[in-house]
Amino acid sequence: MILIEVTDSKTKKQFHKVPHLIYKNDPNWACPLETMVEDVFTPAKNPSFKTGEACRWILTDESGQLLGRIGAFLNLKKVHTFEQPTGGCGFFECVNDFDAAKMLFDASRDWLKERGIEAMDGPVNFGENYMNWGLLADGFVHQGFGMPYNPAYYVDLFKKYGFEVYFKQFSYHLDYSKPFPERFWKIAGWVAQKPGYTFEHFSFDKTEKFVDDFCYIYDEAWRFHGHFEPLDKDEIRDFIKTAKAIIDPEMIWYAYHDGVPIALFVMIPDINQILKKLNGKMNFINILKFLYYKRKRIMTRTRILIMGVVPKYQKSGIESAIFWHQDKLMKHKPEYKEVELSWAGDFNPKIMALYKSVGGVEAKTHYTMRYLFDRTKPFKRAPIIGLED
């Protein structure tokens, strides 16, 4: 087998071809747009390169037949927030052959080792964790946009190499045709109309204000997590720019108390329902197809990317109030029947309880896995929020 670093247009094309070979007979797979994947590995497009670097490879047999691919990356802003400096690997695709998978994992491990890294998380993204993060272990059905999908045998490949589950990620599905529990609405309506509380959905003409508010809420909400790093505003600007064609401003909400931002809610249409028809390309013809299918309202699902509440307000019912406002608007969008609430880490019991309280049913499980380079070192799982040492 031959490992080849991706450095030119030929190897880039091969990198994108690998998943088509892996999923050619899988009706659940939605091919991501190649341009979005390329942006992850392009310094001018990905703000993570400001404090990080990345590399990627393809793997072929002696005859040139593609067998797999992988990327490795590190962000100096984040690697030292753990007990040992930790980088990541991702965009892993591979035939069901452990020797092939081992060569790909070894390439990532060695590249990270050369840069002083002592552990590797995977499969993860070179960026924030609401996109391309985790290994699907249960729930091999359609995935919400940005949530990874993979063959079931990948779990065995990762575990056989020595990866262990650092934390589990649960996705909940909500049938939007069923009413929320009556008790929930009573609390939500009461909080939503309390004096001093205001709610506003996103608008593109006030993007900078909402970027500032997003980062303020995010940083306050996760500040006391053991591995917290302040959010880079460019990450949010980049997401808004990249996803502008699919963002529905009425699905992104902010809550304020006396004018101060205290909570956020980000939901997007599940563009995977269109991407299945585009084969990863966004050429002129596919742009027309995209606009056609969007206008035809074939998207019937949404995905909640993130919810965050400033700690002072986490027991105030503010999350319920956001759902109360959101539900009023969603009644004007009857094409949407299902919501994927993803993802909730097993280290965050509060968000898991919230998703269940609105009627969410656990539907999928992903793993964030970690491989310690020192194989004698004891493995520790992610600490539960609020119970860190």
Please say whether the structural domain 2-166 has been given the CATH code 3.90.1310.10. no
Alpha-carbon distances, residue 80 vs 117, 229, 304, 329 (angstroms): 9, 10, 29, 43
pLDDT tens, residue by residue, 57-72: 999 999 999 999 999 9
pLDDT tens, residue by residue, 150-172: 999 999 999 999 999 999 999 99
Confidence of residue 389 (pLDDT cuts 50, 70, 90): very low
Q: If you average pLDDT over residues 78-85, what whole number do you get? A: 86
Asked if residue 118 lies in contact with residue 177, where contact means CB atoms within 8 angstroms, the answer is no
Domain with CATH 3.40.630.30 in the chain: 2-166, 174-368
Percent of the chain residues topping a pLDDT of 90: 64
Provide the CATH number for the domain formed by 174-368 in this structure: 3.40.630.30
**pTM given for the model:** 0.90
- Average pLDDT of the chain is 90
- The whole-angstrom separation of Cα 303 and Cα 272 is 10
Report which listed range, 179-188, 337-346, 365-374, 379-388, is most confident: 365-374
Percent of the chain residues topping a pLDDT of 70: 97
Question: Helix, strand, coil proportions of the chain in percent (round to 5)?
Answer: 35, 25, 40
pLDDT tens, residue by residue, 23-59: 998 999 999 999 999 999 999 999 999 999 999 999 9
Q: How far is CA 356 from the centre of its chain?
A: 20
In this structure, of 109-118, 139-148, 267-276, 354-363, the range with the lowest mean pLDDT score is: 354-363
Can you say whether the dihedral through the CA atoms of 365, 273, 215, 134 is positive or negative? positive
- The whole-angstrom separation of Cα 200 and Cα 326 is 10
- The whole-angstrom separation of Cα 252 and Cα 152 is 33
